Amino acid sequence: MKILVDADACPVKDIIIKIAKENNLKVLMFIDESHVLKSDYAEVIQVAKGPDVADFRLVNQVEDGDIVVSSDYGLASMALAKKARVITFNGKILNEYNIDALMMQRHMVKKNVRAGKRVRGPKKRTSVDDAHFEKNFKILINS
């Protein structure tokens, strides 16, 4: 098992590394070249800037049983198809039972944006979000 992280906008990188170290797990963090990330533990994989370039590179390295950390439902869907386990930055565990509804929700939001309707952005991140992520991340690792 390894942990693959969609790291460009990931707010829980430090939590991931801390728990991975405790469990002696390999971490791959994928970023595009417009970001800078240094880690003394994780392997940082930098890719060219472009739509979904980092996502496709990540998916190409996913194997059965890996854990993917991303809040991108499209990426999550591809990782689930490869039998990975997926968790969002807020600690929501994604699976074959909830991904279709989440993909439909994403589609409807994009449709509303294209139609000029106003949509709300995500809520401000809190320490509760970090605690929820950490709890569920540990559950995924130990299951």
Question: In which band, very low, low, confident or very high, does the pLDDT at 118 lie, cut at 50, 70 and 90?
Answer: confident
- Lowest mean per-residue pLDDT among 12-16, 37-41, 98-102: 98-102
Structure tokens at 58: 């990540």
- Average per-residue pLDDT in the chain? 90
- Domain range for 58: 3-142
Is residue 101 within a helix (H) or strand (E), and if so which, with residue range? helix 99-114
The residue among 48 and 5 whose pLDDT is bigger is 5
State the pLDDT at residue 102.
73
Q: What is the total count of domains within the chain?
A: 1
> Quick check: 10 and 128 in contact, CB under 8 A?
no
State the pLDDT at residue 113.
77
State the pLDDT at residue 38.
87
Question: In which band, very low, low, confident or very high, does the pLDDT at 16 lie, cut at 50, 70 and 90?
Answer: very high
Predicted model pTM = 0.85
Structure tokens at 32: 């595009």
CATH of the domain at 53: 3.40.50
Q: Is the dihedral angle over the CA atoms 5, 11, 14, 19 positive or is it negative?
A: negative
Question: pLDDT tens across 66-108, in order?
Answer: 999 998 888 999 999 999 999 999 999 999 888 777 767 766 7
